Structure 1
Amino acid sequence: MAVLLVFASGSTVASAAPDSADPGLAPAAWTATYDGPQPYPDVNIQWDVPLTMSDGTVLKADVYRPADASRAAVADKTPVLINITPYGKLASMLVTTALSEPVLVPFAIELVNSINFTGTPIAGIDDLKRALSSGLLDSFGVDQQLVKSGYTYVVVDARGTGFSQGQWNVLRDREQQDTIEVLEWARTQPWSNGKLGMTGISYSGINQLQAAAQRPAGLEAIFPVVAGADIVRDVLAPGGGFGITFIAAWLASVNQQKLIPDVQSMLTGHFDWKWLGDRVSDPVTYVPQVLEALLLPSVDQMSPLTRDLITAGNSVRDAYSTPLDQIEIPTMAVAGWNDLFLNTGARMLDDLTGVPDDRKKLIIGDGYHFTVGSDMGGPGEPPRINTLQKAWFDKWLKGIDNGIDRYAPATIHSYGNGWVQSDDYPVGGQSYRRLYLNPAPSGTAAHAVRDGSLTTAPGDRRENWTISPGLSTICSRDAAQASVGVLSIFTGCAEDNRLAESNALSFTSSAVSEPTRISGRINVHLNTTTETPDGYFSVMVTDVAPDGTSTVVSSGQLVSTMRRYDPSKSVVAPNGDMIDPFYEIDISKPEPVVPGQPTVLEIGSHATDLVLRPGHRLRVDVFALNLLKGLPTGPSTSVAGFRPETVVLDPSAPSWVNVPSDRPIA
């Protein structure tokens, strides 16, 4: 398949003659099939169905079945879709009820969408508004259109959350075993035809990948949205920096909702006292571990579970790394360039080695965790998430030849270039090229601590540029990412990095004269010194427009003592340069630096896809901290404090950024 470039307006930029079987970017038939009348008029719901696990713990499930006009469940056996959630099936029900309200909710959405925030400091609200219509909420709740089209939908409270008994196991071995047992239960129910799929976003996408890697009987397709397969490197401690903002907010959310009792059971005299005892014994799962990891100066002072979380080679850490190469069933994944789990999402096609190309698809939009899909469903865009999901399950669970197996393997929203379809991601035709960090001023970043250049050769003199930890990155796209997109409403921060750059060392290329494609992961080879045996460096790569707007397109971070990487899992360019380091992240085995002695850091920066337009420039910003995205752990802080850090600009030992582009940038 040739690469097909599509602007948001829907105009085709370039394409070869497509295969007649190629459905294109947005097949109208899929949307019509989703939005049109379904074979079953209503939905029957069985509340709080008890599922007894092999250890005796009882989980609670709501079962949604196709129904006739009287809401009586039909006798037909159907495929079954399973969503296992820690956020409470009560929340799923409330979302589903709201979405199914035929008059008030559509009116409310239309009213909200009629308010235009463009040009205001909170213009990012428009993306949040669009997310309401993207189909994302149907993946969080229960998609009643799917049920009416002939699927049974089962929503289960994960162990220790919602109305389920037990202690929250947070995606570890016992919870993974629960998932397999729930699938087997669903497969063997009298209303099931034995064909299973899994659905859901975030946590409910992670457990899809975990289950599929175990290849349980009956599981034939999954549709994970913003899901991760490497929890430590995705969100817990990317580059060794503790993901405090997201982790703290997420734990607070789940730990609060899991304490909400089943009021109906209290009123009917059937209250589950075992549920109450389990909540009393574990009221704030993982909160003590977070506090220990942040505050205790030594790993030896930490509890066994905390040590397992921050050290490598144990069952807890192993549970948080899903072997995607073990998955063999059809998988369509939806990711976002600004999502927390982009580290996993961007690798999905490469890592799903056991799945044929026609059975694995990747959608990457320009969204955050809460706004993914906000750029889908409009003209020149892929179909909504709910539409794609129905087409996917219709193909693999019902055998309907709707063409989704012929959809492009990679459908991505390229910065500055609209939606792109390709046989792979990264898009082909790129070569890795060095751009050196040069102390010669670019003349474009007077607002930064220091203004340097990116050039095709090292500078002609040695300089040491020092940077102090600061708070400016609170106003950045990384901060918006850590807040799952909530802070993205402030476009002055999320869409322009200049305020953050007031505390950065900035290095900017000359302007490109032709459209220049960049596709893939970026790596910054940084020669550094610190005053202590540890440091914390973060980088942001930006597209600088002629008017000076600096838009982040990739970012990464690294704690100096966590710089050790596994060569067997890392990727190097043909010339031997590191382009994708796979850090070991074992805080019990730090690799101290010698204060004042130059130390090279390979800072992996997230994958991206963009076209630098004529007149635009590429920039690398270097920071000494990365609030709100991360903080150093207690052992790192006890050694390093928050001391100034230095980038060594030495022609004999240069620093550079390795960029995959289709032509030289400078």
Structure 2
Amino acid sequence: MQHQETVWITLADGCRLAARVWLPEAADKVPAVLEYLPYRRRDRHRGDDAILHPGLAAAGYAAVRVDMRGAGDSDGLLHDEYTPQEWADCTEVIAWIAAQPWCSGAVGMIGISWSGFNSLQVAALQPPALKAIVTACSTDDRYADDMHYMGGVLLNDNLQYGSTLFTWTPTPPDPLIVGERWRAMWLERLQAMALPPPARWMRHATRDAYWRSGSVCEAYPRIQVPVLAVGGWADGYTNAVPRLLANLSGPRKGLIGPWAHAFPHVATPGPRIDFIGYVVRWFDHWLKGIDNGIMAEPMLSAWLQEAEPPKARYETRRGRWIAEQQWPSPAISDSLWHLAPGRLAEQPAAAFALVLCSPATTGSASGEWCPYGWGPDMPTDQREDDAGSLCFDGEPLGEPLQLLGNPRLRLTLCSDTAMAMLAVRLCAVAADGSSQRVSYGLLNLAQRDGHHRQVPLLPGMDYQVEVQLKACAFEVPAGYRLRVAVSSAYWPLAAPLPWRATLTLRGGVLALPRRDATVASCQAPALGQPWSPPALPSTVLVPPQRGRLQLLRDLASGDTRMNVVRNLGALLIEETGLELGALGNETYSINADDPATARSEALRTASFSRGDWSVRLHTRNLLTASADGWRLESSLEAFEGEQSVFRRDWDEHFAFFPAQEGDA
């Protein structure tokens, strides 16, 4: 294999993008596979690149890893995620790759998270040389299914991920690559940070034009290239794969395992698979024209999770592979259950009125919105959250029940406040009483008629609403009971409103996507044993650590605090001689009786050093709320050595009912 550490791609406007390239040993022209993202090929993402791209090169592909405009060693400025500039640049990069003497002219894209998003977005632009894509842990709908909002409810992941992007967007290029101009490039990036990313996203509380841009669900027919969509049931992005299979018209396949937010050959929970081998088969078919039978295999392969004792971290998840030849599948139909006081009934119940006012700490067993799988970030036993919810239990099942798809709950309710949130969980309850979350969904009741606008609730008026829960694949064993748990809080996964709403439930119907295994007769393909190239040579200085480490309660006051760590760690990268640090944490605090006390604080540090060169950045974001709306206080400070070279502070306010598109 040939490796080129830095290759410059000059765009039409003169901007130069930095790329790494891995080439097969053979001198023949080969197809190329591009990954295009802002996560710094020289350092921060170097470990991830090491376990993917050399494997593609070994299989006979040119693997090209490009830092976007304004990121890493590339020229220019990065102002936001998923912009028209980003996509236009990428189409130029694809054309550049296709024209290289080592390329056959056929290009594929692969990506996870950000690069999974833009693989779909660029595919919708139809660059001529792009022949197929692989998109993992991504979404087709930036408002409905990203870490900013869920059902119109503001997520605390908007703060935590926004803090990470806030820290890494203005990091400097490597002086060994760009020379003395590194400092000017760095200061320009710092000066360009006009608004912290969490604040930018909070300015768009509804599904407006900002979110529609880059949401490929707005124009599925524009994606004509073959799409392999990959996800994990533990990941935050579980809904996109079934939607893409149902709505794309071109060749497509879906693969959903038990994994968290990582490629399936290195992800936890396991079991892992030979993902590189599977991807190579995909690209061999579409970029090399090899008839290897992959398109005769089922459209969807999914890991059917089985019930087991819930815990914060799993090495592997119980279950087995199942498959559907087409999606939507004729093997799946709605199984309807009616809400009655305290129970799930097969027939509609008599009229009832159940009052709900959850403690503000309900949700502490939620786990992360987007688990990464290498720390305690999964949902734990749900009994404590169940205690703060209205629960509706079915009878013990006489036979196993397979679920595959999105559960839905229709409710009739009223509220005593103009804005309130609703959290709905579907749980499998064992004979010992332990409660395992199968799926969940949130709804901002002010967006009950659609996410394009917020309309205040009229206190005391009945409304009919529907909550769609996240897609799942789960087998509930015989002897277990189904439980629907409804709460008016879901902290700290959801940013809490500063009041406790009281809801009155008057009826509801649960629709479960029941899978009939006798109808679904096809077999899942063999997915192989996990393999990856060797890990990045490095010396660990501070071990990586991630997850919800502590839940602390003051029993006298009712104050509760969740401590979360986000350390990628610190290490010496032997290939580049660079010491890299990526440390962070969050603290979420609240009083069970008074959500107006809630504080969500995120701290981040990024540092780089080699010899006598040393720079670091510190960021802080603090989210609070009052009756007037949200408040976000932010700061960014950068140091060269021990000298502060830049500081900026922000104090941003966001109304709960801002002016919206179409308002006079």
TM-score, normalised with respect to structure 2: 0.70
Give the Cα separation in 2 of the matches to 1:326 and 1:88.
30
Is structure 2 residue 92 aligned with structure 1 residue 181? yes
Cα deviation, residue 474, structure 1: 2.3
Cα deviation for residue 340 of structure 1 reads 1.5
Matched with 2:360 is 470
Could you tell me how far apart the structure 2 residues matched to 1:206 and 1:486 are? 23
Residues 377 and 560 of structure 1, relative CA distance in 2, 3 Å threshold = closer
- Matched-pair contact (CA < 8 Å) for 2:31–2:107: yes
Of 435, 448, 461 in structure 1, the residue corresponding to residue 337 of structure 2 is 435
Cα deviation for residue 233 of structure 1 reads 0.5
Measured after TM superposition, the shift of residue 376 of structure 1 is 9.1
- The 8 Å contact of residues 410 and 466 in structure 2, kept in 1 or not, is answered as yes
- Aligned partners of 1:483 and 1:388: how far apart in 2? 24
Output the amino acid matched with 1:81. V
Task: Pick one of 74, 78, 91 that aligns with 2:30.
Answer: 78
Distance 1:459 1:287 in 2: 44
1:408 correspondence with 2:298: yes
The alpha-carbon distance between structure 1 residues 275 and 183, as it changes in their structure 2 partners (threshold 3 A), is farther
Alignment CA distance shift 1:614-1:363 (3 Å): same
Query: Compared with structure 1, are the counterparts of its residues 94 and 519 closer, same or farther at alpha carbon in structure 2 (3 Å cutoff)?
Result: closer
What stretches of structure 1 move > 6 A for 4+ residues in a row?
374-378
Closer, same or farther in 2 for the Cα pair 1:93/1:64, shift >3 Å?
Answer: farther
- Opposite residue 369 of structure 2, the aligned amino acid is Q
- Identical residues among aligned pairs (%): 27
How far the C-alpha of 1:527 sits from its partner, in A, is 1.6
1:239 pairs with 2:151: yes
Q: 1:61 aligns with which of 19, 23, 31?
A: 19
Moved more, 267-276 or 594-603: 267-276
Tell me if the contact between 1:475 and 1:500 (Cα under 8 Å) persists in the aligned partners: yes
| Secondary structure of 2:330's aligned partner | coil
Secondary structure, counterpart of 1:176 in structure 2:
helix
After TM superposition, the structure 1 = structure 2 runs for residues 40-55 of structure 1, keeping only pairs within 5 Å, are: 42-47=1-6, 49-55=7-13
Give CA deviations for 1:498-548 in whole Å, capped at 9, x if unaligned: 222221111110111122222222111112221111210010111222222
Does 2:392 correspond to 1:480?
no
Displacement of 1:220 in angstroms is 0.8
Equivalent residue, structure 1, for 2:324: 422
* CA offset digits 1:405-427 (Å, max 9, x no partner): 22221101112252101213454
Contact kept, 8 Å, 1:335 with 1:346, in 2: the verdict is no
Paired residue for 1:658, among 511, 516, 527?
511
Paired residues for 1:219-368 under 5 Å: 219-235=130-146, 236-245=148-157, 247-265=158-176, 268-269=179-180, 271=182, 273-274=184-185, 276-282=187-193, 285-290=196-201, 293=202, 306=203, 309-314=204-209, 317-322=212-217, 323-353=219-249, 355-356=250-251, 360-368=252-260
1:614 aligns with 2:468: no
Structure with a larger share of its residues in helix? 1
Match of 1:388 among 273, 278, 287: 278
1: CA distance between counterparts of 2:135 and 2:103? 22
Q: Which amino acid aligns with 2:368?
A: A
Query: Structure 1 residues 465 and 266 mapped into 2: Cα distance closer, same or farther (>3 Å)?
Result: same
Correspondences of 1:187-198 after superposition (within 5 Å): 187-198=98-109
Consecutive unaligned residues of structure 2, counting only runs of 5 or more, are 307-318, 517-664
User: CA offsets per residue over residues 346-379 of structure 1, 9 Å max, x none?
Assistant: 31210212x13xxx1111112222485668998x
Aligned length: 501
Q: Aligned-residue CA RMSD in angstroms?
A: 2.7
Q: Distance in 2 between matches of 1:547 and 1:313?
A: 46
Query: Which of 422, 443, 461 is the aligned partner of 1:558?
Result: 443
Equivalent residue of 2:22, what SS? strand
Q: What is the identity, as a one-letter code, of the residue corresponding to 1:217?
A: P
Conserved 8 A contact 1:80-1:195: yes
Q: 1:559 to 1:392 in 2, by over 3 A?
A: same
Query: What is the 5 A alignment of 1:483-502?
Result: 483-485=371-373, 489=376, 494-502=379-387
- 1:608 and 1:425 mapped to 2: Cα distance? 14
- Secondary structure in 2 aligned to 1:210? helix
Q: Deviations over 1:9-66 (max 9, x none)?
A: xxxxxxxxxxxxxxxxxxxxxxxxxxxxxxxxx332141x332333443322222222
Give yes or no for contact 1:527–1:599 (8 Å, CA) kept in 2.
yes
- What SS does structure 1 have at the residue aligned with 2:254? strand
**Mapped contact 2:72–2:174 kept (Cα < 8 A):** no
C-alpha separation between the residues in 2 aligned to 1:613 and 1:285?
A: 47
Give CA deviations for 1:543-580 in whole Å, capped at 9, x if unaligned: 22222222212111101110113xxxxxxxxxxxxxxx
Greater fraction strand: 2
AA partner of residue 393 (structure 1): F
Task: Name the CA shift for 1:66/1:339 in 2 (closer, same or farther; >3 Å).
Answer: same
- For 1:582, the equivalent position in structure 2 comes to none
Check whether the contact 1:187–1:193 (CA below 8 A) recurs between aligned residues: yes
Is residue 425–residue 520 contact of structure 1 (8 Å, CA) maintained in 2? no
1:154 aligns with 2:64: yes
1:129-171, Cα deviation, whole Å (9 max, x unpaired)? xxxxxxxxx3xxx421221232111111122222222233310
Matched to 2:339, the amino acid is L
- Report the counterpart of residue 575 of structure 2 in structure 1: none
Q: 1:266 to 1:75 in 2, by over 3 A?
A: closer
- In 2 relative to 1, CA 53–564 (structure 1 residues): closer, same or farther, beyond 3 Å? farther
Q: Equivalent residues in 2 for 1:103-114 (5 A)?
A: none
The TM-score, its normalising length taken from structure 1, stands at: 0.70
CA–CA distance in structure 2, aligned partners of residues 508 and 514 of structure 1:
16
- The 10-residue stretch of structure 1 (229-238 or 321-330) with the greater mean CA deviation from structure 2: 321-330
* Cα distance, 1:233–1:286 mapped onto 2, change above 3 Å: same
State how far apart, in whole Å, the 2-side matches of 1:518 and 1:469 are. Answer: 30
Quick one: distance in 2 between partners of 1:284 and 1:527?
A: 40
